Copies of this chain bind each other. A is one copy, B any other.
Amino acid sequence: MPAPVLDFWFDFASTYSYLAAMRIGPLAERADVRVRFRPFLLGPIFKAQGWTTSPFNLYPAKGRNMWRDLERSCADLQLAFRRPDPFPQNSLLAARVALAGLDQTWGEGFCRALFCAEFADGCRIDDAAAIGNILAKLKIDSEPALAAAQSDDIKTRLRAQTDEAQRLGLFGAPSFTTADGELFWGNDRLEPALRWATGAPISTAAEPS
């Protein structure tokens, strides 16, 4: 039997997507679930909700707590953390490069490296030079990678991926979707999403004792 599939939806600008991207590999392997990395853009989805920037900027108390929570969570997970400036970073080019890489063998490694550059090292990720540096460290030839990323094919596919995210009801990142139509939102839902994907029995609702 083929391994069950879980779609992992993320935006490179999203803080908790960093945590999910760093955690998902080993957890999925242990659960015997095949993960598909699906970069998309939150911008159009936020815009449809009337937001012009991250809700963490729009709601300062929520934003302050998010940064502190991220700091605590990274310490727990032994992940480095440095806040990028500005926040959110423009993730358009990074998402296009990731899509190009996912057609080849280096997509997932690039995604992790990109997230680390942004949230572990606090670097900008919004231009070709920054992304070229990340590719160079991964020993990937940056010229063809960036050319593929700027092709009409990739541009169209990234738009289609974002449209699909919206159709699936996504409203934030990271999110996880299963073949049978479940949507799980947030890094905290990674484990339940993997459990669901494997069809592990979910207890039936019962009266609390």
Contact = CB atoms under 8 A, between A and B. Distances in A.
Given A69-B185, A80-B207, A61 B120 contact: no
Q: How many copies does the complex hold?
A: 2
A205 B79 contact: yes
A80 B192 contact: no
Interface in A162-209: 169-172, 182-186, 188-189, 192, 196, 202-208
B206 A76 contact: no
A117 to B, nearest CB: 12
Residue among A61, A183, A196 with max Cβ neighbours from chain B (10 Å): A61
A116 B209 CA distance: 11
Contact of A205 (B59, B74, B171): B74
A81 B196 CA distance: 19
A184 B64 CA distance: 11
Given A49-B59, A203-B78, A208 B72 contact: no
A80 B208 contact: yes
A204 B75 contact: yes
Interface of A: 22, 49, 59, 61-62, 64-65, 68-69, 71-76, 78-81, 116, 120, 169-172, 182-186, 188-189, 192, 196, 202-208
8 contacts: A22-B208, A49-B59, A68-B183, A69-B184, A69-B189, A75-B202, A80-B206, A186-B188
